[in-house]
Amino acid sequence: MLQKNWRIRRGSSKTIIFNISFIFNFHILKNISFLLIVIISWCFCSCKSEKKSIYQEEIKSEIIDSVKINFKVLENDNRIKKINSFFQRKFTRNQFNGNILFAENGNIITQKSYGYSNFRKKELLTKEHSFQLASVSKPFTSIAILQLIEKNKINLKDTIQKFFPEFPYHGITIHQLLSHRSGMSQYTHFCDAPDSIWPDKSVTINNQDVIEIISRIVPLTNYKPNHKYYYCNTNYLLLASIVEQVSGLSFKKYVKKYIFNPSGMFSSTIYDRTNFEDLILPAQGYENKTPWEDVYLNGVVGDKGVYSTTEDLLKFDRALKENIFISDSLKKLAFSKMNLDKNGNKNYGYGFRLKEHEKYGKIVYHTGWWKGFRSYFIKVMDKNQTIVVLNNVKRGRFLNIDRLIELIN
């Protein structure tokens, strides 16, 4: 029908044909122009959207892709009753208040809470509560340093002067800091004394403050560098500051980006008295039932400062197992004895304590205590077992490491 009408009009007048053609072509061009505008606008928006999507994927990849952990809770395991009965007795006798997690091959055998996160408010503990890990923070500092070594940013033989030229003690290397062979004094001894050079205890002291104090007053050392093993928190304060100096990030931001996020430890943070709002359900620390205040020394990190949960520490353990943070060779180095002059079956590697159990082989672990908190992180290497015990009441003796290992076997 259209072809027929077109032929009739074509035979009538050239003017009519021209006008019709012009009008027709004008409408076509108008429609094409409109379509082109729509298409260009759509492409522009799509490009922006695609860039945003790619950016989101990068963030997602940084946070999640590194380690995927699916916890399986074991049921009808005969060890559950043994473990829970042990801690229930401790709790009933006022010898334990805290959270526990025992796992094997990444599967949770038991995970329980005993007592209060806050006695005054009568707030019960849950598995979501985070605890000050105290010296169990040191493995995180060690991993951060080993990551920078793996990236060829630093070397085990580098001395402190490479990063802090005014530091007064010469010949102390990163290796000696990691393995507690620097011979330096505890910073708490010369900072926390009643007549110390930090008299106003209401003012927070941080890592840089301690380094400046050491450079200014040059406290007496205990030993010459590398003379012998001497456990010292000053070593790990310095290591955290080296991480900051090399990475250009604050220590808490570095650990969040390169350790917490890749392992999915989203309930963990490093607390330095400037970021209380970042803590997720923090438990209160107690001496018996007297609460500890947030002391000025909490501004120092690297030797302590990590707040975490039992489940997040299992994620840390799994990420270590899968070599998410560092290569297998560096991990083996961290788990190696660095103090051959130390007698007995206990030793220290890089940020981890080591011992040989007569029945269960190599044990990699760390313990910690600080202002009411006690923490235990234990890996039974040959059996792929993980033990996490977090206590927020300082009362009585420390838990026996061998006894905890017996509970899971």
Structure tokens at 281: 């359900």
* pLDDT value, residue 75: 74
Instruction: Kindly give the pairing relationship between strand 393-394 and strand 306-308.
Output: unpaired
Query: Edge-to-edge strand order for the sheet containing 286-287?
Result: 290-291, 286-287, 393-394
HSE of 380, CA atoms in CB hemisphere, 13 A? 25
CB contact at 8 A, 225 and 176? yes
- Rounded Cα distance between 378 and 349, Å, is 14
- Rounded Cα distance between 81 and 391, Å, is 20
Stretches in the chain below the pLDDT threshold 50: 1-30, 32-66
Structure tokens at 130: 């985070």
Q: What is the DSSP string of 93-112?
A: TTS--EEEEEEETTEEEEEE
Residue 212's Cα: distance from chain center in Å? 27
Q: Which residue has the tokens 């990068």?
A: 58
Instruction: Kindly give the pairing relationship between strand 290-291 and strand 353-357.
Output: unpaired
Q: Which amino acid is at 346?
A: K
* pLDDT value, residue 197: 84
At residue 388, what are phi and psi to the nearest 5 degrees?
-130, 120
HSE of 363, CA atoms in CB hemisphere, 13 A? 23
Closest CA to 313 of 272, 273, 260: 260
* pLDDT value, residue 204: 96
Structure tokens at 271: 């607390």
With residue 394 as reference, give the H or E element that holds it.
strand 393-394
Cβ-based burial of 369 (10 A; exposed 0-12, middle 13-18, buried ≥19): middle
* pLDDT value, residue 344: 74
CB contact at 8 A, 133 and 392? no
Residue 32's Cα: distance from chain center in Å? 57
HSE of 57, CA atoms in CB hemisphere, 13 A? 6
* pLDDT value, residue 396: 83
CA distances from 394 to 88, 96, 207, 291 (A): 17, 8, 26, 10
Closest CA to 174 of 238, 222, 227, 245: 238
* pLDDT value, residue 318: 96
- Rounded Cα distance between 1 and 65, Å, is 63
Q: Which residue has the tokens 């709002």?
A: 277
* pLDDT value, residue 122: 95
**303-339: pLDDT as tens digits:** 999 999 999 999 999 999 999 999 999 999 999 999 9
- Give the three-state DSSP class for 363: strand
Q: What is the DSSP string of 364-407?
A: EEEEEEETTEEEEEEEEGGGTEEEEEEE-EE-SSPPPHHHHHHH
